Structure 1
Amino acid sequence: MIHAQYEPLAKLWGVSVSEVPNPKFNNIVIHLNHEDDHVNKRFIEKAKKFYPIIKYSQPKSANSATLKSKIKKRITENLIFGGDGLNDIDGSLKCSAGLWVQDENEVNYLLTAGHCYRDSPLNPNGYVDFYLQGWYSQPTFNYIGPLVYYSSVIYDFGLIRHVGTNSTLTTMIDNRDNTNLFKLLWIEEAIDIDEAGAHLYQC
């Protein structure tokens, strides 16, 4: 014991430092997460008779706000922008994605050209299935949905019902072909032009 007053206990033990008293404090050091540690309460009470040094990483138990990561979740869905390509089941690039629209039943559709159905294979229900093909990329076969309505008389437009679970709607237009402007354009509002049967979108 007298020798231990002059030499750190860790040096007197014939084992590695990680398994012995902390040489810095010359005592047993117990590292715990927080003071009100109910999981190790029984162990702490038994160890107190040896007068160890107990160090806590935080004074109180962590709540959910403390444990919540500040790192934003990555987007794992495929964002479909206005102007993205659309390919059919054969991988043929057919048309481009327009804007997202919604009917009175809150069913989402992707607006595109009505002639996109031409020369494409039909699914068992008689519709053409469309998949996302981003700019400068190969066919991805990330399913968007079937072309459930199309017209090429007077107005050339079609509606693809959004049923794919790995794609999500956006109110943005892909503008990456213009290197001097913003890569994405946000749609802020729409104006109807009744006499022309069209809409103007302000970005």
Structure 2
Amino acid sequence: MKRQKRDLIRRRVLCGEGLYEFEGCTKCSAGFLANYLDNYIVTTGHCYDRDTSNKFFHRPWGSRPTTYFIGQMVYHSVQNYDFGLIEFRGTHTDPKSMIRNLYSSRYRELRIHDTTQVSSHGVHLCKSGLTTHVTCGYVRAFDGIYIDKEGLLTDLIIIDMYYAGGDLNEITAILPLDIILSQVKIKAIFKFVIK
């Protein structure tokens, strides 16, 4: 009798859900999916820790970190632009170009369709993240600058939306997508094909 091949059960990973690095107890949010020669999950560069292996695991909203391996951070930048690339190597995970939206009764998941450039003040934008979940606001300025003890970040889009450490209508800075894509020669993808 011939054995039947069984499909591997895969855990869905949505954009905005958590990424967790056990050695440094670092938590980040999965930004968006991209590829060049390999598949990547884009996140923040400040999630990189030079003292750890930088291996990230899935951490869904409202739960503890899991042992579902996502991959290792293979590129990071915190000078001028804050972003990092985690090379997808998970065998039990299935990244989706969707955003979890648990606070909506009608639209529990939002599909990411394209990478339309934001070019006007007053445009309504939303983001999704591990701590704040889905939050929205309006574009207030372009070419913003952010300064902290780590250095200077430039070319940011300034938006009035809730963020992890603040109250409503705080300022949030977002790095424009075209900068990330051009810095590392990747392209955003909307259908993730597991190799």
Calculate the TM-score normalised by the size of structure 2: 0.54
Q: Partner residue of 1:110?
A: 41
Map 1:16-165 → 2, pairs under 5 A:
76-90=9-23, 92-103=25-36, 105=37, 107-118=38-49, 121-123=51-53, 128-165=54-91
Richer in helix (by share): 1
Residue identity (%): 32
User: 8 Å contact 2:19–2:58 — kept in the other structure?
Assistant: yes
User: 8 Å contact 1:89–1:121 — kept in the other structure?
Assistant: no
Which consecutive aligned stretches of 4+ in structure 1 deviate over 6 angstroms post-superposition? Answer: none
Q: Which has the higher contact order (CA 8 A, sep 6+)?
A: 2
Structure 2 CA distance, aligned partners of 1:75 and 1:136? 25
What residue ranges of structure 2 are gaps of 5+ in the alignment? 1-5, 120-142, 144-154, 156-174, 179-187, 189-195
AA aligned to 1:199 is L
User: 8 Å contact 1:193–1:199 — kept in the other structure?
Assistant: no
AA aligned to 1:186 is R
1:184, distance to aligned residue in structure 2 (A): 0.7
CA deviation map 1:110-143 (0-9, x unaligned): 000000014x7523xxxx1100000111110210
Note if 1:189 corresponds to 2:119.
no
1:198, distance to aligned residue in structure 2 (A): 1.4
AA aligned to 2:47 is C
AA aligned to 2:28 is C
CA deviation map 1:37-78 (0-9, x unaligned): xxxxxxxxxxxxxxxxxxxxxxxxxxxxxxxxxxxx998201
1:179, distance to aligned residue in structure 2 (A): 3.5
Structure 2 CA distance, aligned partners of 1:121 and 1:192? 36
1:153, distance to aligned residue in structure 2 (A): 1.4
Greater radius of gyration (CA) = 1
AA aligned to 2:112 is I
User: 8 Å contact 2:71–2:87 — kept in the other structure?
Assistant: yes
AA aligned to 1:113 is T
What residue ranges of structure 1 are gaps of 5+ in the alignment? 1-72
Calculate the TM-score normalised by the size of structure 1: 0.52
Structure 1 CA distance, aligned partners of 2:80 and 2:19? 23
